[in-house]
Structure 1
Amino acid sequence: MDLQKLAQKFNIKSEQEDYNVIHDTVEKGIFFKGTNLWILIFAILIACVGLNVNSTAVIIGAMLISPLMGPILGMGYSLATYDFGLLRKSLINFGFAVASGLGASTLYFLVTPLGEAHSELLARTQPNIYDVIIALAGGLAGIVALSSKQKGNVIPGVAIATALMPPLCTAGYGLASGTWNYFFGAFYLFTINTVFIAVATLLIVRFLKYPIWQGVDENMKKTANRWVSVIATVTILPSIYFGYILVKQERFTRNAQSFIRSETNIEGDYLLKSDIDPTKRSIRLVYGGRLIPEAAKQAVIDKARHYSLNGASISIQQGFSLEESESNENLLAINTQQAEINRLRATLGTTLQLQDSLNNRKHLGKQLLQELKPLYPEITTCGAADQVFYNDSLQAQNYLTLVLGSSDRRKTLANHEKLEGWFRSRLNTDSVKIYIE
């Protein structure tokens, strides 16, 4: 393939729509009245409910039907073609949409009985430079698709990737709850998406040399371009800083995990719990077992410098000590902490020795179900019993038979091998048979 054919493959002008059609499409998309207005209202409600109940699917639905992309593309298009009348209309309609979104979401979160901030909501409160990249790439894809005769399903994909509606509703949550860091973080993310979708639109329109519909003097052009540069710069600078902070926190978390995995073993003690706080550069280690001497604690802390954790705050705490007096309160604490040890070791897949006697075998199903639930929520029942199986030669083989009830049998069957491996490790035996109802 020669260079001319290769260049032709990347030529987006070959499928370009007529300029008049593109102009009409952009202009129709900026208005919020009638159908668009009702769609906006429904999208706001759906996004608020999705954030409130932490449902990713519902939030994606809100992003798909949200008409907020229209006036943003209109702003970028009008700036690129110096159509200031269209820019004015885009700004007015965009301001109306933002005010409606903030007002409706604030009202919803004021009246809803569910006030907890879930992960989907928190994910919209800490924007960084990567959100700029997503918005810019999404805006480029959106305007290229809009300029093409073969639009496909790019616009809905851009709406999902850039996520305009959820951060606006998250800002409403911040207003309703008085959590100003949520409000400013979410609204900043919304601003990033708005500005860089518009900037991407401007770049592609200029690149494709769309016609300038009205005569504009050079001073107005320079003023418009200057304002675009200033707004883009002011928007991107904080995101670069937040991106730098994010990278530092990710690196700290990775180094801390490596340190905990390799250097925190203390003979005669179990590591019950480890907490990593990258924002405060702190690591908290909680042990159970024999009383840990200060020298042993310091030896663990000193090893942190080999993992680029200089300056990190590392605290080592004794959850319980077997050398303390065994008063009733201490015994209760020991039992509680021992149960935590067992649960954590099972979760991490380490080998547990089955301590239950044959008399307690009938309660094994209950114990296993309690440990399975966090890993496989679809499993609803668990029964365990010792069975003897005979082959054709009447040779006997003892098996621990496990019968699992599931609310999603297909999913549980797909996890059959993982379940079998988990049971073998948990029960320290290869003689396991699993039946799924």
Structure 2
Amino acid sequence: MPIEKDKDATIVVKDTPDQEKYELLKEKIRYKQALRENSKKIDHQKVRLNIQADALPSKTFFIMNALAAVIAGYGLLSNSAAVVIGAMLVAMMLGPISGIALALIDNRWLLFKTALSTLLLGIGMIYSIGIILGLVNYDLPMTNEILSRTQPTILDLMIALAGGAAGAFSAVSPRLSVAVVGVAVATALVPPLVASGILFAHMEWKNSANAFLLAVTNIFAIQISSSLVLWIAGFRRGSTEEVQSTVKEFLKRNAVSLMFLALLGIYLSFNFYALLNTRLYESSTEATISTELNHANNIIDTIQYDKRDDFTLIRVSIRGDIPPSPAQIAALNQKLLPDLNDNPSIVQVRFIPIDIIQAEDSPNVKLEQDEAQKLSVQ
């Protein structure tokens, strides 16, 4: 006869000193297992095979990178950073760069040629897709996501060096996924290549060249940092038997890449210095203009810079009640700093009057300055 549920027997086990010892022993065993998992040695042969496989010009490589280029292209054209980042979930540009890094460290000419050809084919395909997207969507304007990749600086070089090191470390670490880090590294490659193609289709040669330069900078930086991580991890030759390799040997095998990286670093440092000076000049100019013109219910909407041969024309768009006088603008010009070429800065104001319209029987309420600020469309 079955026992009723409310009358079932209940067994109560009390904690004993012996049970606490058993729990402590099990915890120590788990801790030692975790230590063994973290201390696993690098399987050099397996890592080499994985890098070599990813460096091959496979169908998967071209299909996934083509899809990444299309998604990134439309993310750039729609000015969506989220779409651009999401496109990198399918990109596979880290593989051939890691193959080049391993080939230089192991001194393997055949692997170098294979990985380099895969990389060049991938670059050509992605760039071509960018040109096609630019031609198909020729009427769309250049977005901030595209233009932001046309001003490479030394900061981009530092980011690429860190990304390449992370990718190489994930490749040799038994407990890290190279796919996740590959996404971050590909973010620095596919978008600037697609952006350069789109700009090329719009015949914006200078911006296109700058975006392509950003991609090239990232490639060299990722390769150098990957080579360094692999060399430190013990990858010294193309066999299962590792040998000692000096720093001199490392520098010799990566001499060409290091030379290009040094030249790029110098050029990008000048770019960063010029960009920094431009930002400081614009920040100082905008602060002065705001102090002089942004009052009496007048609201500054936009400030644009038009560089001429002998001066910089600063176009200021203002909405408000009372337009500034020519004498005010002349006094403002005297207070502005010269531009980066030591030429005068000249302000030109486009004034848009604001009319307050209400019913005849409505009370006449004055628009205060703080209320005008809230109504401003920046």
Alignment counterpart, residue 283 of structure 1, candidates 288, 310, 314: 314
Shift of 1:97: 0.7
The change in CA–CA distance for 1:183 and 1:317 in structure 2 (over 3 A counts) is closer
Matched, 1:304 2:336: yes
Q: Partner letter of residue 55 of structure 1?
A: S
Secondary structure in 2 matching 1:125? coil
Q: Partner letter of residue 271 of structure 2?
A: F
Shift of 1:309: 11
Q: Partner letter of residue 279 of structure 2?
A: E
The change in CA–CA distance for 1:318 and 1:55 in structure 2 (over 3 A counts) is closer
My pick for the range that moved more, 280-289 or 42-51, is 280-289
**Corresponding position of 2:253:** 224
CA RMSD of aligned residues (A): 3.7
Q: TM-score, normalised by structure 2?
A: 0.73
Shift of 1:206: 1.9
Matched, 1:191 2:223: no
Alignment counterpart, residue 353 of structure 2, candidates 338, 343, 346: 338
Alignment counterpart, residue 325 of structure 2, candidates 292, 295, 299: 292
Q: Partner letter of residue 261 of structure 2?
A: A
Render the CA deviation track for 1:245-279: whole Å, top value 9, x for unaligned.
1111111122122212334468x794655524296
Separation in 1, partners of 2:82, 2:123: 23
Secondary structure in 2 matching 1:289? coil
Separation in 2, partners of 1:207, 1:84: 21
Shift of 1:154: 4.2
Shift of 1:81: 2.4
Q: Partner letter of residue 46 of structure 1?
A: I
Contact 2:315 2:350 in 1 (8 A): no
Alignment counterpart, residue 261 of structure 1, candidates 290, 302, 306: 290
Alignment counterpart, residue 347 of structure 2, candidates 300, 303, 315: 315
Which structure shows the higher strand fraction? 1
The change in CA–CA distance for 1:221 and 1:159 in structure 2 (over 3 A counts) is closer
Secondary structure in 1 matching 2:107? coil
**Corresponding position of 2:132:** 107
The change in CA–CA distance for 1:291 and 1:58 in structure 2 (over 3 A counts) is closer
Contact 1:283 1:312 in 2 (8 A): no
Matches within 5 A, 1:14-413: 14=39, 17-112=42-137, 114-152=139-177, 154-159=180-185, 162-213=187-238, 224-264=253-293, 270=298, 272-273=300-301, 275-277=303-305, 282-285=313-316, 289=322, 292-294=325-327, 296-305=328-337, 311-317=343-349, 319=351, 337-339=352-354, 356-357=358-359
Contact 2:153 2:271 in 1 (8 A): yes
Separation in 1, partners of 2:77, 2:350: 38
Separation in 1, partners of 2:201, 2:350: 41
Render the CA deviation track for 1:308-331: whole Å, top value 9, x for unaligned.
997441324474xxxxxxxxxxxx
Q: Partner letter of residue 283 of structure 1?
A: I
The change in CA–CA distance for 1:292 and 1:27 in structure 2 (over 3 A counts) is same
Contact 1:48 1:169 in 2 (8 A): yes
Q: 1 or 2 for the larger relative contact order (CA 8 Å, sep ≥6)? A: 2
Separation in 1, partners of 2:316, 2:128: 45
The change in CA–CA distance for 1:108 and 1:205 in structure 2 (over 3 A counts) is same
Separation in 2, partners of 1:131, 1:278: 27
Separation in 1, partners of 2:341, 2:249: 54
Q: Partner letter of residue 338 of structure 1?
A: P
Report the identity percentage.
22
Shift of 1:148: 0.7
Shift of 1:119: 1.4
Q: Partner letter of residue 115 of structure 1?
A: L
Shift of 1:290: 5.8
Secondary structure in 1 matching 2:336? helix
Separation in 2, partners of 1:108, 1:65: 19
Secondary structure in 1 matching 2:314? strand
Q: Partner letter of residue 23 of structure 1?
A: R
Secondary structure in 2 matching 1:209? coil
Q: TM-score, normalised by structure 1?
A: 0.64
